[in-house]
Amino acid sequence: MSDLKIKKIGLLCSGGDSPGMNCAIRSVVRTAIGMGLEIYGIQKGYAGLLEGSIRELNVSSVGNILQHGGTILQTSRCPEFMTEEGRKEAANILRRKKIDALIVIGGDGSFNGAMKLHEEHQIPVVGIPGTIDNDISGTEYTIGFDTAVMNAVSAVDKIRDTANSHARTFIVEVMGRRSPAIALKVGICTGAENVIIPTHEIDYQKIFKDIDRGIKRGKTSSILIAAEGEKEGIGHTIQKALKEKFNLSAHVCILGHIQRGGNPTPTDRLIASEMGHMAVRALHEGQICSAAVVRNGRVAIAPLSECLIKKNDYDQNEVFLLNSLSI
């Protein structure tokens, strides 16, 4: 234990919700109480912090929540917290409430906010990576990814049934504005003919060739997985291009937010529980600007700064595997 006396911890979720956040909340609350600390839930992320929406949590506050998707603390995106004045106000509110440290469950944007709060106002912060996008650097895993992939895979399996019956081509749009992680994993797990990655130019010739090759060898359906990307309507853009360039008719299915809901998988529950526990211990041990991460398959604590660069890259091995199997 360090000399730093942390007695009261604030806890919030920020950015897009992800299945497993409730497990992390439960773990933080129970670990903190078990260590004799007080834990305060901040409703609706940084926006709720600025509104002073703060209440003490007890052991029972987090009973019967770990199996549910979403977050009992709710979440938000808060433009005001992007400003220096907003963060100053947030720090003042924490001090007035005598909250010594803040645990933030969210994505890289939320982590950036936490880092600034620490740098500008010396508030001890710990991040817990929670986003279905699995796109935070410094950690191999972010809470919610496994559940989102499972949701999408089960939806694509259903689409495959009807696609086969009608001998159709489907373009299925999955989440990931800047992250290819869900699209690639879902593509491999559903035997997709092709995966469209948000940061890459679309190679229509290759898409058409892949589909055509399948048809020639007697395949009765083709599935193309597209990460949604920054610009709305990627699925329909591809549909239109395939029609215009190759006279190929394809159906579009946008999975949308269905991917972000539902009961977290055991993997998400386990990692979230471990991360929540480690986050509280990190504060207790005096690590005042850190994050719970997965490194070499194990949950650990790392400096928050290592998690602040967005992970835009993807695993080349996954692309290779997809291409090797979709012949």
Per CB under 6 A, residues contacting ligand ADP are 14-16, 46, 77-78, 81-82, 106-110, 112-113, 116, 131
175 binding partner (options ligand ADP, ligand F6P, none; Cβ < 5 to 8 Å by kind): ligand F6P
Bridge partners of 251?
A: 170
- Least distance from ligand ADP to the Cβ atom of residue 198, Å: 15
- Alpha carbon 318 to chain centroid, angstroms: 19
Burial class (CB in 10 A: 0-12, 13-18, 19+), 260: buried
Range 195-224, binding ligand F6P (CB under 6 A): none
The yes-or-no answer on residue 108 being catalytic is no
Interatomic CA distance for residues 103 and 83, integer angstroms: 20
Of the candidates 179, 150, 99, 186, the residue with the CA atom closest to the CA atom of residue 261: 150
Q: Which is nearer to ligand ADP, 139 or 326 (CB)?
A: 139
For the window 158-177, what string marks contact with ligand F6P as x by the rule CB under 6 A?
-----------------xxx
d(CA 184, CA 195): 6
- What are the two backbone dihedrals, phi and then psi, of residue 124, each rounded to the nearest 5 degrees? -65, 135
124 binds, among ligand F6P, ligand ADP, none (CB under 5 to 8 A by kind): none
Rounded to the nearest whole angstrom, what is the least distance from the CB of residue 93 to ligand ADP in the complex?
A: 15
User: Which of 100, 108, 133, 274 lies at the binding interface for ligand F6P (CB under 6 A)?
Assistant: 133
Active-site position among 100, 108, 133, 135: 133
Using CB atoms within 10 A of its CB, is residue 308 exposed (0-12), middle (13-18) or buried (19+)?
middle
Task: Among 29, 90, 117, 132, indicate the residue that binds ligand F6P (CB under 6 A).
Answer: 132
- The token pair that represents 167 in the structure block: 């001998």
Half-sphere exposure of 212 (CA within 13 A, CB side): 10
Q: Which does 113 bind (CB under 5 to 8 A by kind): ligand ADP, ligand F6P, none?
A: ligand ADP
Residues identified as active-site: 133
Residues making contact with ligand F6P (CB under 6 A): 16, 131-133, 175-177, 228, 260
